[in-house]
Amino acid sequence: MRLVTRFSAFFLTALALVLAGFSATVYLVAHSHLYREIDERLERALDTLEASVDIEPGGLEWEPTDRRIALGLDLGQDEVRWAVRDGEGSLVDRSANAGSGGFPAGWEARVWPTHPPDGTVIDNVAGWRIAGRRMPLKALLRLGRGHPDDEPGFEIQYPVLVLVAGLKPGPVKATLNRLGATLILLSMGIWLLALAGGRLLARRALAPLTRMAEAVSTMSATDLGRRVPTPRTGDELDALGHAFNGLLDRLNEAFDKQQRFAGDASHQLRTPLAALLGQVQLAQRRERPVEEYRQVLDRVLEEGMRLRVIVETLLFLAQPDGPSLLLHDLDLAKWLPNHLERWSDHPRTADFQLDIRADALPVRVHAPMLAQLLDNLLDNACKYSEAGTPIVVRGKREGGSVVLDVEDRGRGLNPEEAAHIFDPFFRAEGARHDGLPGSGLGLTVARRIALALHGTLSITGYSERATCFTLRLPEHPGPTVVSPGNALRATV
């Protein structure tokens, strides 16, 4: 089901419930009000009849001639009919219209046969709204409604009188029927207008989303430069369009990097393979002395080792996760001198300078991975600086972090080279021109290791004759397990 249909169905269902509830409420309120008016008219009619009853100490007298009753003279369907009966159920008097207009004789006897209850009773009978009131003499005298100055011993005429009034609620029912029909038609009209307008509004509101979907459905891996159209309305759909275009930008950038990475990797792998195959083919051209075969094998072994290092490095960079490694507490102030002793046989060992600016540099790391990172930085410094120039390894605390700097006085970098120094297979122009060995993966691996150790590796200083790489690690222990990938045992 389309989003427009679901949205419209929800909106129209809610509107239908609201209209039905509103119409039902209006109808019930009108019904209650109109029938309450009927009941009030009947009660007023009973009050008028009661005023014509003369209360004496010895009985009740019905004297409509003394008090002219205009009630019940009109024969209209919406006029009150009334009757007066005695306690035995015999008719005493009734209105002029009580026997016409569908008001049958004897109807009052069917409602209150002989002894109706005290007080006023209202009920529906045979299409009429009937009200009755019983007037017993004793109760009226107890209420003080007699005439104390009347002569005692008056002949009792009626000990009990029953007053009955009725109205035919046909006009009220007709009014309610018209009201109900009007509410139904009005609700249906509003609902149909909402159906048409709601679907139109929903389609217009979701049209940008439809255009985005159509644009995305026609995209392929070869045209990642395309972007989805944005409505520029400043709403959620506009934000969605910009967010999706941002995702496409990142995907395009990652795709370009992957393509460059694949091209550079194939180039790097092709070089040692070509050298290796060339040596083998050269050795096969003619018979050679054993010593020459040994030289060829040494050359093949050298190129094979180089090829293995490149392959291991590519595998390390390609895998998002690797085996879990436990982190341990380590004091860099004590670890750095011991690690630099491993470089004692290196030709540049005399150029190394260690500068520890704190009594303790506590971190939580995986020592072999940290050693690989530092070895890559030291090998990079030795490769791109001249013998006799200092290579400074500096450890210090700074802002809640332990900072490790490796600084050399070599050929340096320009700003454009510094921006890409951590890209895979990137090598500075001067290094390529001078034919210095290397694959351009050492710094990439070093940064990957720094991230695995919850730290950062960046180039913080560079010029034409100096370069400084800075590793920042949290001083306080981090998580106990990380997944940085396999540690490399060779410097690249």
Domain residue spans in the chain?
3-174, 236-318, 325-482
* Helix (H/G/I), strand (E/B), else coil: 119: strand
Q: Does position 192 have pLDDT exceeding 70, yes or no?
A: yes
Class for domain 236-318, per CATH?
Answer: mainly alpha
- Give the pair of three-digit tokens for residue 49: 């009849």
pLDDT band for 457, please (50, 70, 90 cuts): very high
Per the model's pLDDT, the better-predicted residue between 240 and 332 turns out to be 332
Going by their DSSP bridges, the two strands 391-398 and 352-356 should be labelled as parallel
Fold designation for 325-482 = Heat Shock Protein 90 (3.30.565)
489 confidence band (pLDDT: 50, 70, 90)? very low
- Average pLDDT estimate for 339-349: 88
Integer Cα distance of 99 and 119 in angstroms? 25
Handedness of CA 344, 348, 350, 353 (dihedral sign): negative
Rounded CA-CA distance 28/54 in Å is 41
- Find the Cα–Cα–Cα–Cα dihedral 368, 371, 375, 378, rounded to 10°: 170
The predicted pLDDT at position 480 comes to 44
In this prediction, residue 261 has a pLDDT band, given cuts at 50, 70 and 90, of low
- Render pLDDT for 201-241 as a digit per residue (tens, 0 to 9): 877 777 787 788 777 777 776 677 778 788 777 777 788 88
Band of pLDDT at residue 21, cut at 50, 70 and 90? very high
Q: How many CA atoms lie within 13 A of 16 on its CB side?
A: 9
- DSSP for 75-101? --TTS-EEEEEETTS-EEEE-TTTTST
- The predicted-structure confidence for 129-169, as pLDDT tens digits, reads as follows 888 888 776 555 554 454 444 444 434 478 888 888 888 88
- Output 256 or 386, whichever has higher pLDDT: 386
Q: Which residues contact 108 (CB under 8 A, 6 or more apart)?
A: 83, 85, 91, 94, 130, 132, 162, 164, 166
Mean pLDDT (the chain) is: 78
State whether residue 53 is helix, strand or coil.
strand
108 touches 81 (CB < 8 A): no
Question: Rounded mean pLDDT of 242-259?
Answer: 78
Q: Tokens in use for 108?
A: 């009052």
> Which amino acid appears at position 482 of this protein?
V
Task: With a cut of 50, say whether residue 491 has pLDDT above it.
Answer: no
